[in-house]
Amino acid sequence: MLKKLTYLTLIVASTQFFTACTGSSNKSSDSDELAITDSLASDAPLELSEEVIGDVIQNVSSPVEMANLIKSSGVEFSQKILNNTEKVDEYDTSFKRALNLGVYSADLGYINTFDKNTIVVSYLLAIKNLADGIKVGQFFDFNSLKRVATNSNNLDSLMEISVSSFNKMDSYLRSQKRSNVSSLIVTGASIEGLYITAKAIEATKNQDLIDRLAEQKDIVNILMIILNNYSQNESFAELASKIAVLEKAYESVKITTEFSEPKSMEKDGKLVIVQDEKSIVEISDETLKAIIKEIEVIREFVVL
Protein backbone atom coordinates (compact mmCIF):
# COMPACT_ATOMS: atom_id res chain seq x y z
CA MET A 1 0.00 0.00 0.00
CA LEU A 2 2.79 2.34 1.01
CA LYS A 3 4.70 1.52 -2.16
CA LYS A 4 1.67 2.32 -4.28
CA LEU A 5 1.09 5.55 -2.41
CA THR A 6 4.74 6.56 -2.76
CA TYR A 7 4.65 5.82 -6.49
CA LEU A 8 1.45 7.79 -6.94
CA THR A 9 2.82 10.73 -4.95
CA LEU A 10 6.01 10.69 -7.04
CA ILE A 11 4.04 10.85 -10.28
CA VAL A 12 1.86 13.69 -9.02
CA ALA A 13 4.91 15.55 -7.65
CA SER A 14 6.79 15.17 -10.92
CA THR A 15 3.81 16.37 -12.90
CA GLN A 16 3.37 19.42 -10.69
CA PHE A 17 7.08 20.19 -10.75
CA PHE A 18 7.07 20.10 -14.52
CA THR A 19 4.02 22.37 -14.65
CA ALA A 20 5.69 24.81 -12.26
CA CYS A 21 8.85 24.99 -14.33
CA THR A 22 7.12 25.56 -17.62
CA GLY A 23 4.48 28.06 -16.52
CA SER A 24 0.87 28.11 -17.48
CA SER A 25 1.12 27.92 -21.23
CA ASN A 26 -1.24 25.70 -23.12
CA LYS A 27 0.32 22.57 -24.45
CA SER A 28 -0.47 19.89 -26.93
CA SER A 29 1.89 17.25 -28.13
CA ASP A 30 -0.46 15.99 -30.79
CA SER A 31 1.10 17.81 -33.72
CA ASP A 32 -0.69 15.67 -36.32
CA GLU A 33 -4.05 16.78 -35.04
CA LEU A 34 -3.05 20.42 -35.33
CA ALA A 35 -1.10 20.26 -38.55
CA ILE A 36 -2.13 22.48 -41.40
CA THR A 37 -3.24 20.26 -44.20
CA ASP A 38 -3.66 22.59 -47.15
CA SER A 39 -1.76 25.39 -48.83
CA LEU A 40 0.65 26.10 -45.96
CA ALA A 41 2.27 22.70 -45.83
CA SER A 42 5.76 22.53 -47.31
CA ASP A 43 8.87 20.44 -46.83
CA ALA A 44 11.18 22.86 -48.60
CA PRO A 45 14.15 24.10 -46.52
CA LEU A 46 13.96 27.60 -45.02
CA GLU A 47 16.59 30.30 -45.50
CA LEU A 48 16.18 31.37 -41.88
CA SER A 49 15.66 28.98 -38.98
CA GLU A 50 12.40 28.86 -37.01
CA GLU A 51 14.24 30.51 -34.11
CA VAL A 52 15.56 33.41 -36.19
CA ILE A 53 12.26 33.98 -37.94
CA GLY A 54 10.56 33.93 -34.52
CA ASP A 55 12.81 36.79 -33.43
CA VAL A 56 12.08 38.67 -36.63
CA ILE A 57 8.32 38.21 -36.17
CA GLN A 58 8.57 39.78 -32.72
CA ASN A 59 9.93 42.88 -34.44
CA VAL A 60 6.63 43.73 -36.06
CA SER A 61 4.98 46.34 -33.91
CA SER A 62 1.62 46.16 -32.20
CA PRO A 63 -1.32 48.18 -33.60
CA VAL A 64 -1.80 50.02 -30.29
CA GLU A 65 0.51 52.98 -30.92
CA MET A 66 -0.77 53.63 -34.44
CA ALA A 67 -4.43 53.38 -33.40
CA ASN A 68 -3.80 55.77 -30.54
CA LEU A 69 -2.12 58.28 -32.81
CA ILE A 70 -5.03 58.07 -35.27
CA LYS A 71 -7.46 58.80 -32.45
CA SER A 72 -5.43 61.77 -31.23
CA SER A 73 -5.33 63.18 -34.80
CA GLY A 74 -9.03 63.93 -34.36
CA VAL A 75 -10.24 61.67 -37.14
CA GLU A 76 -13.71 60.17 -36.63
CA PHE A 77 -14.03 56.43 -36.17
CA SER A 78 -15.04 54.76 -39.43
CA GLN A 79 -16.29 51.19 -39.47
CA LYS A 80 -16.45 51.12 -43.26
CA ILE A 81 -12.66 51.13 -43.57
CA LEU A 82 -12.43 47.92 -41.52
CA ASN A 83 -12.66 44.47 -43.03
CA ASN A 84 -16.28 43.30 -43.04
CA THR A 85 -16.78 40.37 -40.65
CA GLU A 86 -19.36 38.84 -43.00
CA LYS A 87 -16.49 37.86 -45.29
CA VAL A 88 -15.13 35.42 -42.76
CA ASP A 89 -16.71 32.33 -44.36
CA GLU A 90 -15.12 33.19 -47.70
CA TYR A 91 -11.64 32.62 -46.27
CA ASP A 92 -11.42 28.93 -47.00
CA THR A 93 -7.66 28.32 -47.09
CA SER A 94 -5.21 28.39 -44.20
CA PHE A 95 -3.27 31.09 -46.03
CA LYS A 96 -6.29 33.42 -46.20
CA ARG A 97 -7.47 32.53 -42.71
CA ALA A 98 -4.10 33.32 -41.11
CA LEU A 99 -3.72 36.58 -43.03
CA ASN A 100 -7.21 37.78 -42.14
CA LEU A 101 -6.86 36.68 -38.54
CA GLY A 102 -4.14 39.34 -38.45
CA VAL A 103 -6.36 41.83 -40.28
CA TYR A 104 -9.27 41.41 -37.84
CA SER A 105 -6.89 41.61 -34.85
CA ALA A 106 -5.63 45.00 -36.08
CA ASP A 107 -9.27 46.06 -36.60
CA LEU A 108 -9.97 44.97 -33.02
CA GLY A 109 -7.10 47.17 -31.77
CA TYR A 110 -8.55 50.13 -33.70
CA ILE A 111 -12.09 49.45 -32.39
CA ASN A 112 -10.76 49.12 -28.85
CA THR A 113 -8.88 52.42 -29.04
CA PHE A 114 -12.10 54.18 -30.05
CA ASP A 115 -14.13 52.34 -27.35
CA LYS A 116 -16.66 51.02 -29.89
CA ASN A 117 -17.81 48.07 -27.83
CA THR A 118 -21.03 47.63 -29.82
CA ILE A 119 -19.15 46.03 -32.71
CA VAL A 120 -16.42 44.28 -30.74
CA VAL A 121 -18.26 40.96 -30.47
CA SER A 122 -18.62 40.45 -34.22
CA TYR A 123 -14.85 40.98 -34.64
CA LEU A 124 -14.08 38.61 -31.78
CA LEU A 125 -16.33 36.03 -33.38
CA ALA A 126 -14.55 36.46 -36.74
CA ILE A 127 -11.16 36.02 -35.01
CA LYS A 128 -12.40 32.94 -33.17
CA ASN A 129 -13.75 31.39 -36.43
CA LEU A 130 -10.50 31.96 -38.29
CA ALA A 131 -8.41 30.75 -35.34
CA ASP A 132 -10.49 27.55 -35.24
CA GLY A 133 -9.93 27.20 -38.99
CA ILE A 134 -6.17 27.10 -38.54
CA LYS A 135 -6.42 24.93 -35.41
CA VAL A 136 -5.41 27.54 -32.83
CA GLY A 137 -8.89 28.41 -31.54
CA GLN A 138 -8.05 26.86 -28.16
CA PHE A 139 -6.17 30.05 -27.24
CA PHE A 140 -9.29 32.22 -27.56
CA ASP A 141 -11.79 31.86 -24.75
CA PHE A 142 -14.59 33.45 -26.73
CA ASN A 143 -17.12 33.46 -23.88
CA SER A 144 -14.72 35.29 -21.52
CA LEU A 145 -13.76 37.74 -24.24
CA LYS A 146 -17.42 38.36 -25.08
CA ARG A 147 -18.29 38.91 -21.42
CA VAL A 148 -15.47 41.44 -21.05
CA ALA A 149 -16.26 43.09 -24.37
CA THR A 150 -19.93 43.71 -23.58
CA ASN A 151 -18.97 45.62 -20.44
CA SER A 152 -17.94 49.06 -21.70
CA ASN A 153 -15.66 49.61 -18.68
CA ASN A 154 -13.61 46.58 -19.52
CA LEU A 155 -12.14 47.37 -22.93
CA ASP A 156 -8.60 47.58 -21.51
CA SER A 157 -9.08 44.11 -20.04
CA LEU A 158 -10.33 42.96 -23.43
CA MET A 159 -7.09 44.15 -24.99
CA GLU A 160 -5.02 42.41 -22.31
CA ILE A 161 -6.87 39.12 -22.79
CA SER A 162 -6.83 39.27 -26.58
CA VAL A 163 -3.13 40.30 -26.81
CA SER A 164 -2.28 37.60 -24.30
CA SER A 165 -4.24 35.07 -26.41
CA PHE A 166 -2.30 36.14 -29.51
CA ASN A 167 1.01 35.85 -27.66
CA LYS A 168 0.17 32.34 -26.47
CA MET A 169 -0.94 31.37 -29.96
CA ASP A 170 2.28 32.76 -31.47
CA SER A 171 4.44 30.87 -28.94
CA TYR A 172 2.47 27.71 -29.62
CA LEU A 173 2.78 28.05 -33.41
CA ARG A 174 6.53 28.55 -33.13
CA SER A 175 6.90 25.59 -30.78
CA GLN A 176 5.04 23.51 -33.37
CA LYS A 177 7.36 24.76 -36.15
CA ARG A 178 4.47 26.66 -37.71
CA SER A 179 6.11 30.10 -37.88
CA ASN A 180 4.77 30.38 -41.42
CA VAL A 181 1.29 30.78 -39.89
CA SER A 182 2.57 33.38 -37.38
CA SER A 183 4.23 35.19 -40.29
CA LEU A 184 0.94 35.53 -42.11
CA ILE A 185 -0.88 36.74 -39.00
CA VAL A 186 1.66 39.52 -38.35
CA THR A 187 1.70 40.42 -42.05
CA GLY A 188 -2.10 40.72 -42.11
CA ALA A 189 -2.07 42.84 -38.95
CA SER A 190 0.66 45.10 -40.32
CA ILE A 191 -1.03 45.64 -43.67
CA GLU A 192 -4.33 46.46 -41.96
CA GLY A 193 -2.52 48.89 -39.62
CA LEU A 194 -0.92 50.61 -42.62
CA TYR A 195 -4.28 50.68 -44.44
CA ILE A 196 -6.17 52.23 -41.51
CA THR A 197 -3.40 54.83 -41.15
CA ALA A 198 -3.50 55.56 -44.89
CA LYS A 199 -7.26 56.14 -44.71
CA ALA A 200 -6.83 58.43 -41.68
CA ILE A 201 -4.17 60.41 -43.61
CA GLU A 202 -6.51 60.81 -46.57
CA ALA A 203 -9.17 62.17 -44.22
CA THR A 204 -6.98 64.49 -42.14
CA LYS A 205 -3.66 65.14 -43.95
CA ASN A 206 -2.23 64.99 -40.43
CA GLN A 207 1.57 65.42 -40.56
CA ASP A 208 2.23 63.23 -37.49
CA LEU A 209 0.40 60.37 -39.16
CA ILE A 210 2.26 60.96 -42.43
CA ASP A 211 5.60 60.85 -40.58
CA ARG A 212 4.53 57.72 -38.74
CA LEU A 213 3.51 56.00 -41.97
CA ALA A 214 6.86 56.97 -43.51
CA GLU A 215 8.70 55.55 -40.50
CA GLN A 216 7.22 52.14 -41.20
CA LYS A 217 9.85 51.73 -43.93
CA ASP A 218 11.84 49.40 -41.66
CA ILE A 219 8.74 47.37 -40.82
CA VAL A 220 8.02 46.80 -44.52
CA ASN A 221 11.63 45.62 -44.92
CA ILE A 222 11.09 43.18 -42.03
CA LEU A 223 7.89 41.86 -43.65
CA MET A 224 9.88 41.18 -46.81
CA ILE A 225 12.49 39.19 -44.83
CA ILE A 226 9.72 37.16 -43.21
CA LEU A 227 7.77 36.41 -46.41
CA ASN A 228 10.83 35.69 -48.54
CA ASN A 229 11.68 32.95 -46.07
CA TYR A 230 8.63 31.01 -47.28
CA SER A 231 8.69 32.08 -50.93
CA GLN A 232 8.95 28.47 -52.10
CA ASN A 233 5.21 28.46 -51.43
CA GLU A 234 3.30 30.03 -54.33
CA SER A 235 0.89 32.04 -52.17
CA PHE A 236 3.72 33.46 -50.04
CA ALA A 237 5.67 34.33 -53.20
CA GLU A 238 2.68 36.20 -54.65
CA LEU A 239 2.19 38.19 -51.44
CA ALA A 240 5.93 38.92 -51.21
CA SER A 241 5.95 40.21 -54.80
CA LYS A 242 3.21 42.72 -53.91
CA ILE A 243 5.01 43.87 -50.77
CA ALA A 244 8.22 44.23 -52.81
CA VAL A 245 6.44 46.94 -54.84
CA LEU A 246 5.54 48.72 -51.60
CA GLU A 247 9.14 48.38 -50.42
CA LYS A 248 10.22 50.04 -53.67
CA ALA A 249 7.76 52.90 -53.11
CA TYR A 250 9.30 53.42 -49.67
CA GLU A 251 12.83 53.72 -51.09
CA SER A 252 12.72 57.50 -51.45
CA VAL A 253 11.60 58.05 -47.85
CA LYS A 254 14.59 59.59 -46.09
CA ILE A 255 15.05 58.96 -42.37
CA THR A 256 17.95 60.63 -40.58
CA THR A 257 18.90 60.72 -36.91
CA GLU A 258 19.53 63.83 -34.84
CA PHE A 259 21.47 63.50 -31.59
CA SER A 260 20.79 65.42 -28.41
CA GLU A 261 21.74 65.20 -24.74
CA PRO A 262 20.33 62.11 -22.99
CA LYS A 263 18.05 62.97 -20.09
CA SER A 264 16.80 61.06 -17.12
CA MET A 265 14.75 62.37 -14.25
CA GLU A 266 13.12 61.04 -11.13
CA LYS A 267 9.73 62.46 -10.29
CA ASP A 268 7.70 61.26 -7.28
CA GLY A 269 9.99 58.22 -7.06
CA LYS A 270 9.39 57.36 -10.71
CA LEU A 271 12.11 57.22 -13.29
CA VAL A 272 11.70 58.78 -16.76
CA ILE A 273 14.39 58.38 -19.42
CA VAL A 274 14.45 60.43 -22.62
CA GLN A 275 16.30 58.94 -25.57
CA ASP A 276 19.19 61.01 -26.91
CA GLU A 277 18.31 60.30 -30.55
CA LYS A 278 15.48 61.65 -32.64
CA SER A 279 14.46 60.51 -36.12
CA ILE A 280 13.76 63.11 -38.79
CA VAL A 281 11.56 61.96 -41.66
CA GLU A 282 11.40 63.39 -45.15
CA ILE A 283 8.67 62.24 -47.52
CA SER A 284 7.34 63.98 -50.62
CA ASP A 285 3.65 64.16 -51.55
CA GLU A 286 4.38 62.04 -54.59
CA THR A 287 6.03 59.31 -52.50
CA LEU A 288 3.19 59.40 -49.99
CA LYS A 289 0.64 58.90 -52.78
CA ALA A 290 2.64 56.00 -54.22
CA ILE A 291 2.92 54.33 -50.81
CA ILE A 292 -0.81 54.70 -50.08
CA LYS A 293 -1.67 53.32 -53.52
CA GLU A 294 0.47 50.20 -52.97
CA ILE A 295 -0.94 49.70 -49.46
CA GLU A 296 -4.45 49.71 -50.98
CA VAL A 297 -3.43 47.18 -53.63
CA ILE A 298 -1.97 44.79 -51.05
CA ARG A 299 -4.87 45.21 -48.66
CA GLU A 300 -7.34 44.36 -51.43
CA PHE A 301 -5.34 41.23 -52.24
CA VAL A 302 -5.35 40.23 -48.57
CA VAL A 303 -9.04 40.70 -47.77
CA LEU A 304 -10.59 39.56 -51.05
Partner 1 sequence: MRKIIFSLIVLLSMSYASYAQCGDDLLKQALKEMGESQYIKDYTIELVKDKKDTKTGYVKFSVVLQSRTQYKFNLANGDTNPEQIILQVKQGDKLEASNMHNGKLYNEFEFICGKTGVYNLLFSFKGGSEGCAKAVQSLVKQF
- The residues that touch partner 1, with contacts defined as CB under 8 A, are 2, 5-6, 9-10, 12-13, 16-17, 19-21, 23-24, 55-56, 58-62, 64-66, 68-69, 72, 156, 159-160, 163-164, 167, 208, 212, 215-216, 218-219, 222, 257, 260, 264, 266, 270-279
Closest CB 209 distance from partner 1, rounded Å: 11
Within 10 angstroms of residue 6's Cβ, the number of other Cβ atoms is: 10
DSSP-H helix ranges across 23-154? 50-58, 64-72, 94-113, 120-133, 142-149
Closest CB 1 distance from partner 1, rounded Å: 10
Q: Which is nearer to partner 1, 73 or 129 (CB)?
A: 73
CA gap 111, 118 in Å, rounded: 9
Closest CB 24 distance from partner 1, rounded Å: 6
Q: Comparing C-alpha atoms, which of 211, 203, 202, 231 is closest to residue 292?
A: 202
Closest CB 25 distance from partner 1, rounded Å: 9
Separation of CA 73 from chain center: 23
Strand partners, 69: none
Q: Which is nearer to partner 1, 36 or 243 (CB)?
A: 243
Instruction: Provide the residue type at 55 as one letter.
Output: D
Q: Is 86 exposed, middle or buried (0-12, 13-18, 19+ CB in 10 A)?
A: exposed
Q: Which is nearer to partner 1, 48 or 219 (CB)?
A: 219
Separation of CA 124 from chain center: 15
Q: Which is nearer to partner 1, 28 or 59 (CB)?
A: 59
Closest CB 91 distance from partner 1, rounded Å: 26
